[in-house]
A and B are shown apart, each in its own frame.
Chain A
């Protein structure tokens, strides 16, 4: 559009602000549709999981209470108790958090309270590399390094070739960078004046950290742990490779047991036929997994937004 015609338009009393701009509205519409893709994918997730899970619960012999309280999971012979898969998931998650929480939190404290800018510049990228390694590589590490190591330390008879402990410990290393970076953000958000006040009262550095900085950053740290739990529950490759196949109801972490994700991976890896109990079971377990991770994520975000309000 030339300047003259624009000028004439104004002269003739046409307000260019009111002028319809088709390209602009078209772009607006396209971008809105892009935004709606995520909504569509959430809805299709819910519909797919829900529909197939309902089919699963309509199978003869399947009841919701039996599903949640039964202690045998063998869909091929009609035993649909999900507890063995859940206990295995909780045991691997427990060991993962046992490793990731202290190491991740302490590493975060070192980075935020002790490290110089230069040291941070070296250490931080290394943690980022750790965070960027695909989980299948961690699975290989668990199977070919951690398990043999545990068998050397605890004895070949007590530790099975596939076991939950090895998978859990390695999973802990995998989620350590997540706990570390989220905790570091929380520690970083604690105002400097709080630390200075503690030093002014004569507290040592460790006392300042434990009595002032950590309590102030607590909600952020809790949020990071909740997110880490959610990540550990949904982690598939490490448990599929190192924790063993075939469900078993055991609380001994040195034994093999299949987790929820491990079951999904094993069954679907074998070209499962559509509309068999095994196929529908994948969706029932998937729904359970989806609900658990959704709840944990929402709680984690609530906690984070709560802690953001404290100092702003």
Chain B
């Protein structure tokens, strides 16, 4: 500080200090820009892997079936092609599932490709290299995979959302995973939201300040800081093992070999969200002015009447927004489900709380563990689906908050 004091005396010292100060302001701005840049790079990286050129090889050469390009064929020609070349059994199975006459030309064309030509993606390229180094990519495909045809592949499309898991990346989809995620978060919310809200009301409105309240509060604060994988260990030990007859549905007469069900997963995530919901609700309750409670008591309302008719409605926007944010955290949670979930290949849609499950983030994790490059593309596409789900949830939270805060003020 001594040199600072002497510096103040001279005009040049002041200029230097001011420029140092100015430079620091750029450093501070730089830090936050780096943070936002990483967000942008992360999103671009995901988009980059979700779209791009792919080299596709056909198990059966299209020229065996037809010399004409498929685009030139009409409905009846395409149908004839299918009927003539598929095995009788396969053709009958298809006819049982869909009415061929009602299909659009595009669908029929797709069916011909899938059923007869049987494509496999042998190499895939990112969006940036597909756009910026188009020539090189096409050249490389030509020299490395002379048999392959080149297609601009959208890994995230409607088929990806409606297909279930598969061992081949190009046939993989996230329908089972999305349904699993929705089931799990439904069970988790049904547990965590009522219990969490109840606990928060108890702590804020009923419990007398003292040792007991401090004890419960300390418990909740500690639980909020426990790493999520520890909840997975708890879920593995309690829900899938100790409570197996219950979580596997055996006590309800269901035949299930294990407790690695949606119920176990939902309760595990529910336990993880519980402290989050409690803390959020407590904060919302604390913003309700005490005068409101006193006014209600003074006209003779009981404690519960005061809470139900006055405190909760005015705390609702805060509770709702916080709860939705907690739910979106629950949807993205992966680590506990690795422990509670069955690692085996799940491609059957969940039908209820006693089904085995996979979830969207879990699916992404498994895909990143696979050796084939193309599973990186499916993982990226699944991440896009997950992020869109979470962002729309957050948007709902913001809209609800604005809606309610207007209503309460009016």
Q: CB within 8 Å of B: which residues of A?
A: 21, 23-24, 27-28, 30-39, 41-42, 44-45, 48-49, 52, 102-107, 109-111, 113-114, 123, 126-127, 129-130, 132-141, 143-145, 173, 176-177, 180, 202, 204-207, 209, 211, 227, 230-231, 233-237, 240-241, 261, 264-265, 268-271, 274, 282-283, 286, 289-290, 293-294, 296-298, 300-301
Contacts and interface: CB of A to CB of B under 8 A. Distances in A.
A246 to B, nearest CB: 14
Interface residues on B, range: 35 or more
A85 to B, nearest CB: 13
B221 A297 contact: yes
B113 interface: no
Contacts of A234: 226-230
Interface in B359-376: 361, 364-365, 368-369, 376
B233 A141 contact: no
B241 A274 contact: yes
Nearest to B201: A31
Given A48-B238, A236-B338, 15 more contacts: A34-B196, A41-B274, A44-B238, A106-B31, A126-B35, A134-B334, A134-B390, A136-B334, A145-B42, A145-B45, A230-B227, A264-B233, A269-B338, A271-B343, A297-B222
B368 A139 contact: yes
B226 A290 contact: yes
Q: Per DSSP, are chain B's interface residues mostly helix, strand or loop, or mixed? A: helix
25 contacts: A42-B223, A48-B238, A104-B35, A107-B28, A107-B35, A110-B31, A114-B28, A126-B35, A130-B35, A132-B332, A132-B390, A136-B332, A139-B365, A145-B41, A145-B42, A177-B35, A180-B35, A202-B8, A204-B17, A204-B20, A206-B25, A227-B225, A269-B343, A282-B233, A290-B230
B274 A283 contact: no
Given A133-B42, A134-B361, A123 B32 contact: yes
Contact of B31 (A21, A107, A227): A107
Nearest to A45: B234
A37 B274 CA distance: 9
Contacts of B108: none
Q: What 8 A-B pairs come out closest when comparing CB atoms?
A: A234-B227, A134-B332, A34-B198, A106-B31, A297-B225, A204-B21, A206-B21, A110-B28
Contact of B342 (A107, A138, A235, A271): A271
B333 A32 contact: no
Given A110-B29, A135-B332, A176-B35, A268 B227 contact: no
A242 to B, nearest CB: 9
A106 B32 contact: yes
B373 to A, nearest CB: 10
A24 B303 contact: yes
Contacts of A237: 334-335, 361, 365
B206 interface: yes
Interface string B295-319: 0000000111000000000000000
B195 interface: yes
A103 B223 contact: no
Contact of B379 (A39, A140, A296): A140
B77 interface: no
Contacts of B334: 134-136, 236-237
Contact of B237 (A21, A52, A107, A271): A52
A34 B191 CA distance: 11
Contacts of B39: 126, 129-130, 133
Contacts of B35: 103-104, 107, 126-127, 130, 173, 176-177, 180
Interface in B26-49: 27-32, 34-36, 38-39, 41-42, 45-46, 49
Nearest to A261: B229
Contacts of B328: 132
Contacts of A111: 32
B386 interface: yes
B207 interface: yes
B336 to A, nearest CB: 9
Contacts of A35: 198-199, 202-203, 207, 216
B20 A268 contact: no
Given A136-B361, A230-B225, A141 B25 contact: no
Contacts of A264: 229, 232-233, 339
B325 interface: yes
B332 A271 contact: no
Nearest to A105: B31
B221 A301 contact: yes
Given A38-B275, A261-B229, A140 B46 contact: yes
Nearest to B237: A48
A28 B206 contact: yes
A2 to B, nearest CB: 14
B230 A286 contact: yes
Nearest to A242: B368
